[in-house]
């Protein structure tokens, strides 16, 4: 028989183009009128009541970021009685820009929300069956969000530069007859056609589908599609009814709309995106009994509760029915590399509390499909929050290495293991296309050991969610020969089944590093500094407020702290903190962080006044977890004076700084050419090398400007060695100080190098007035040290990375994350680089001709990408670093806290005893606070920071009747051999990096 298969396969595509318009065989235009709201969005009642001006399809509308209120009206023709009638409302959509352009929310005249509108969802059901003569009237809140062009500089990302030109033209505004037979035929043909193309060419099944499609097409008169749709469908019944093979891969579909809490739109627009999407999904749940929808990010539910209560009521009802499923248990889908220990913990505390209080639901999964890699401290935090599973997808974007698992156990720095799944469908916006479903089955790495995966299904990033077409596809794929089996399922049900079928999963130890988007550790420095400063101010505010409440009649500001924590957590979303959002988002974030800092400073000041009496005296507050110059950790006391330092001129230019621990030499270029550890009689820098070296690189990645730095950026570098000025304070002083100024390009930099009497660390304060474009600024420290690995601080501990690039996995980590410190060591001697606000760094290793090893650590300071914010980082920035020779890991931890939590001066009149003391510096207090439930109980959280087993005596200095070990939500945990009562307090016995939360009843 002649093989005409390819002819039939090609025929299908063209015939579908003729069939699809027949879904709406009859139409009649609706009347349209419009009101353009001035400025920001208005309340619904105001939008509904505003006067309208008649308009029509083809009319331009919508300035960037504007809101227009449309009214559409019509009458169902008498001859349509008994048929299914819908309204088509096209705001000027581009089908390829779902979630990234104009959108709408449809209301009834009484203000009841109906559903959202987007390019793949332009219909509103009127009636089935309809009544002839029925009057139709809807209002549409239409958002003219501009399409942000990718990878080019644009002013559309901010109101101040977006202009006022209309962005869209109104499209079709019609009442239409909906022909369900034709619509179902389209779904049949598309599912079979896509399945056919994914099958091998030889099997009989593919030919069966080809012949069935041929018969179906032949049954249709293309000049009267509607008349033949039923007959065409009958030709496909047999091939659609054949069941999947017993061993077919099992796909758990869950409706989903990953909505970026901010990205190419501001936070205020996300509030409306969430309302539009959830209104759509609530309507779809009503219409489709098998459908399950999930949404993460407690903050987005809170958006609805605060701003769209009428939509929230529908969501809450659907949650109660078990079909709208809150997932993830976090406040937002945050970045996980940069948030500090407590902030990462509070993402779960506030997220899970919201779901428990609002819905009575306890999440056991973390849901982070789009986050840019995962810090090695996260598994312990997930477990400590009462969860046990993790879903993500983004690791499939890695450029160099293919991750070897889809379902596995992820082990963190303390040994905690979390059952983890990467959907092999390789998207968190699955649309149930045949290529996606086939790819999931082929791609699944655990074949032969496990047989199920999850597919988050729906338009996402900018929202939209699942469509009726996706649900129809899933119904046909439920049990279809040649395809995986698809079933709608809740995330928890999927995880329980996946865990049950896979007895001994593979284990991945350490961070889940994304080999992409590395520049997110540096872009938008002010956002990152605002986050770091806010985290430490929150720690201080809780510490001093709790201490003042226990010691005095101070009222603990629980509501304010709750609100401020949620504000900071919101801005840790994975496109805000990483610096990958439009100008509007980061401008707004900077202002928000300033308000947060002012509020927290006021709380801290009030608590300290309550504790220390008058705001004058010799008693200084120490918010850090380690004692400092005689001032106890978490208390206030007098500072023990230091012995002073000296600064002298060098014969060949520059200055020498010295105290009794360290001698520093700064040459005439303002570079550090010697950092000598007097106690160990050891030089820190390699021969002939210079530290504190600013280096400038060209930085133009292949794509994803704000997100990416590609390794070729290292090919060209300019060392900034020219000096505008170099001055020092002379003679014996409390601090030895050298100031150096430079200029380059359109920018200037001033650095202050300080050696204090109480530490061996050289402190470097760098102020940059930055006005470069597509450049990358680094601060380099070459070190004379032989080490095959180095430590970077992460949540509740540190992880080790290699200093070499033996493998492609090591080679790919050319830019990595640290929190407050990096530490390198040989046996008996180490060096630490600490910082107050930077995260990105790189490290290179070389062997010198003399046989010694040089390891160069470089802190990443600033970038200048042009997309999506063309003015990224332009302006003044301030950074603080310190280089500490002779440092142990404990010294690195202590110094990292010290630079981020400096003592408060001037002091107060009275000393303040800490609520808790700990007698081992390796056991670090990360939080002292009052319990979240308002009981007045005191909560302390501690962790082992050195990476070894530790014993410590925790001594509370207040009356208490008992204590319990708790999870992060401050709920009692089963007893574990971690604490034992002692006469002086509580004896702790901790494993490496173990996290412990204790709750004391006063």
| Catalytically active residues, by annotation | 370
Q: At what angle do helices 298-307 and 558-570 cross, to 10 degrees?
A: 110
What distances in angstroms separate CA 472 from CA 15, 22, 476, 664, 856, one per listed residue?
A: 20, 18, 7, 72, 57
The answer to whether residues 355 and 347 touch, using CB atoms and an 8 Å cutoff, is no
State in Å, rounded, how far the first CA of the chain is from the last one: 89
Cα(435)–Cα(194) distance, integer angstroms: 7
Contacts (Cβ under 8 Å, ≥6 apart) of 161: 155, 583
Write the DSSP symbol of residue 465: B
Side-chain-side CA neighbours of residue 962 (13 Å):
4
The answer to whether residues 22 and 225 touch, using CB atoms and an 8 Å cutoff, is yes
Cα(468)–Cα(280) distance, integer angstroms: 10
The answer to whether residues 815 and 842 touch, using CB atoms and an 8 Å cutoff, is yes
The answer to whether residues 136 and 175 touch, using CB atoms and an 8 Å cutoff, is yes
Residue 163 backbone zone (phi > 0: left; psi -120 to 50: alpha; other: beta): left
Q: Where are the beta strands (DSSP E) in 734-852?
A: 736-744, 747-755, 762-770, 775-784, 789-794, 797-802, 816-817, 821-826, 829-835, 840-847
Using DSSP's 3-state secondary structure scheme, residue 603 falls into helix
Count CB-CB contacts under 10 A for residue 84.
17
Q: CA nearest 577: which of 397, 336, 874?
A: 336
Cα(192)–Cα(472) distance, integer angstroms: 12
Q: Where are the alpha helices (DSSP H) in 140-266?
A: 159-162, 180-198, 204-218, 225-241
Cα(372)–Cα(650) distance, integer angstroms: 48
Write the DSSP symbol of residue 640: P
Count CB-CB contacts under 10 A for residue 317.
13
Cα(927)–Cα(912) distance, integer angstroms: 18
Cα(336)–Cα(839) distance, integer angstroms: 12
The answer to whether residues 1000 and 956 touch, using CB atoms and an 8 Å cutoff, is yes
In the structure, how many helices (H) and strands (E) does the chain have? 19, 54
Side-chain-side CA neighbours of residue 717 (13 Å):
16
């Amino acid at each position: 028989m002649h093989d005409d298969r390819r002819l039939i396969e090609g025929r299908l595509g063209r015939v579908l183009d003729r069939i699809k318009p027949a879904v709406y065989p009859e139409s009649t235009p609706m009347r349209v009128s419009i009101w353009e709201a001035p400025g920001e969005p208005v309340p619904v009642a105001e939008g509904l009541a505003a006067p309208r001006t008649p308009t029509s399809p083809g009319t331009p509308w919508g300035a960037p970021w504007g809101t227009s209120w449309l009214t559409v009206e019509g009458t169902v023709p008498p001859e349509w009685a008994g048929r299914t009638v819908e309204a088509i409302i096209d705001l000027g959509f581009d089908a390829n820009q779902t979630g990234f352009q104009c959108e709408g929310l449809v209301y009834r005249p009484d203000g009841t929300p109906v559903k959202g509108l987007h390019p793949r969802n332009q219909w509103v059901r009127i009636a089935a069956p309809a009544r002839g003569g029925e009057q139709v009237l809807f209002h549409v809140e239409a958002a003219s969000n501009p399409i942000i062009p990718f990878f080019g500089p644009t002013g559309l990302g901010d109101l101040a530069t977006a202009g006022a030109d209309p962005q869209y033209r109104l499209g079709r505004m019609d009442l239409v007859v909906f022909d369900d037979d034709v619509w179902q035929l389209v779904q049949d043909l598309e599912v079979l056609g896509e399945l056919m193309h994914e099958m091998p060419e030889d099997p009989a099944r593919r030919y069966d589908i080809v012949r069935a499609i041929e018969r179906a097409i032949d049954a249709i008169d293309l000049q009267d599609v509607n008349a033949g749709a039923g007959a065409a469908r009958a030709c496909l019944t047999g091939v659609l009814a054949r069941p999947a093979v017993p061993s077919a891969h099992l796909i758990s579909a869950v409706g989903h709309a990953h909505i970026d809490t901010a990205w190419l739109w501001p936070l205020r627009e996300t509030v409306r995106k969430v309302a539009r999407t959830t209104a759509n999904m609530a309507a779809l749940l009503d219409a489709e009994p098998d459908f399950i929808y999930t949404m993460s990010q407690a903050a987005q539910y809170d958006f609805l509760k605060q701003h769209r209560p009428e939509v929230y009521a529908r969501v809450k009802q659907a949650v109660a029915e078990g079909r709208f499923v809150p997932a993830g248990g976090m406040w937002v889908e945050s970045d996980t590399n940069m948030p500090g220990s407590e902030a990462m913990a509070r993402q779960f505390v506030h997220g899970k509390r919201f779901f428990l209080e609002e819905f009575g639901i306890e999440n056991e999964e973390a849901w982070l499909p789009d986050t840019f890699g995962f810090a090695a401290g996260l598994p312990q935090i997930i477990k400590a929050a009462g969860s046990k599973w993790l879903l993500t997808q983004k690791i499939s974007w890695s450029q160099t290495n293919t991750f070897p698992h889809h379902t596995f156990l992820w082990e963190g720095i303390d040994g905690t293991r979390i059952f983890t799944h990467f959907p092999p469908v390789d998207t968190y916006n699955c649309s149930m296309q045949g290529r996606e479903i086939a790819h999931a089955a082929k791609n699944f790495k655990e074949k032969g050991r496990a047989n199920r995966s999850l597919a988050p299904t729906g338009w996402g990033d900018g929202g939209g969610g699942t469509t009726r077409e996706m649900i129809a596809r899933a119904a046909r794929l439920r049990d279809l020969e040649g395809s995986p089996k698809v079933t709608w399922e809740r995330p928890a049900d999927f995880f329980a089944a996946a865990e049950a079928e896979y007895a001994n999963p593979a284990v991945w130890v350490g961070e889940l590093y994304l080999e992409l988007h590395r520049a997110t550790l540096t872009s938008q420095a002010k956002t990152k500094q605002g986050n770091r400063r806010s985290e430490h101010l929150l720690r201080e505010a809780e510490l001093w407020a709790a201490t003042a409440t226990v010691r005095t009649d101070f009222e603990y500001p629980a509501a304010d702290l709750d609100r401020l924590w949620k504000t900071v957590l919101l801005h840790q979303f994975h496109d805000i903190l990483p610096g990958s959002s439009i100008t509007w988002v980061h401008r707004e974030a900077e202002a928000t962080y300033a308000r947060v800092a002012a509020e927290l400073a006021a709380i801290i000041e009030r608590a300290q006044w309550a504790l220390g009496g008058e705001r004058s005296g010799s008693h200084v507050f120490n918010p850090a977890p380690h004692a400092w110059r005689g001032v106890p950790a978490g208390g206030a006391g007098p500072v023990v004076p230091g012995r002073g330092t000296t600064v002298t001129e060098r014969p060949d230019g520059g200055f020498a700084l010295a105290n009794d621990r360290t001698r520093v030499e700064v040459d005439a270029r303002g570079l550090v050419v010697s950092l000598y550890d007097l106690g160990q009689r050891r030089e820190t820098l390699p021969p002939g090398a210079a530290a504190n070296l600013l280096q400038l690189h060209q930085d133009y990645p292949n794509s994803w400007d704000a997100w990416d730095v590609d390794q070729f950026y290292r090919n060209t570098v300019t060392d900034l060695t020219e000096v505008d000025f170099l001055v020092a304070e002379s003679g014996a002083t409390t601090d030895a100080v050298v100031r150096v100024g430079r200029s380059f390009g359109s920018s200037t930099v001033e650095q202050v190098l300080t050696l204090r009497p109480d530490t061996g660390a050289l402190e470097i304060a760098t102020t940059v007035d930055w006005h470069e474009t597509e450049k990358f600024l680094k601060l380099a420290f070459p070190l004379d040290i032989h080490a095959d690995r180095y430590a970077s601080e992460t949540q509740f501990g540190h992880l080790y990375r290699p200093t070499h690039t033996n493998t492609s996995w090591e080679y790919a980590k050319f830019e990595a994350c640290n929190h407050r410190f990096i530490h390198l060591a040989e046996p008996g001697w180490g060096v630490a680089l600490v910082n107050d606000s930077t995260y990105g760094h790189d490290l290179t290793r070389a062997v010198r001709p003399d046989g010694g090893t040089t390891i160069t650590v470089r802190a990443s300071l600033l970038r200048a990408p042009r997309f999506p914010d063309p003015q990224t980082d332009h302006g003044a920035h301030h950074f603080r670093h310190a280089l500490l020779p002779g440092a142990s890991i404990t010294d690195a931890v202590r110094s990292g806290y010290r630079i981020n939590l400096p003592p408060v001066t001037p002091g107060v009149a009275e000393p303040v005893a800490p609520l808790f003391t700990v007698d081992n510096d390796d056991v670090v207090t990360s939080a002292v606070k009052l319990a979240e439930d308002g009981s007045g109980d005191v909560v302390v959280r501690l962790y082992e920071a050195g990476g070894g087993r530790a014993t410590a005596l925790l001594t509370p200095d207040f009356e208490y009747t008992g204590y319990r070990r708790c999870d992060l939500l401050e709920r009692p945990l089963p007893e574990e051999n971690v604490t034992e009562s002692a006469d002086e307090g509580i004896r702790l016995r901790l494993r490496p990096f173990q996290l412990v939360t204790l709750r004391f009843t006063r």
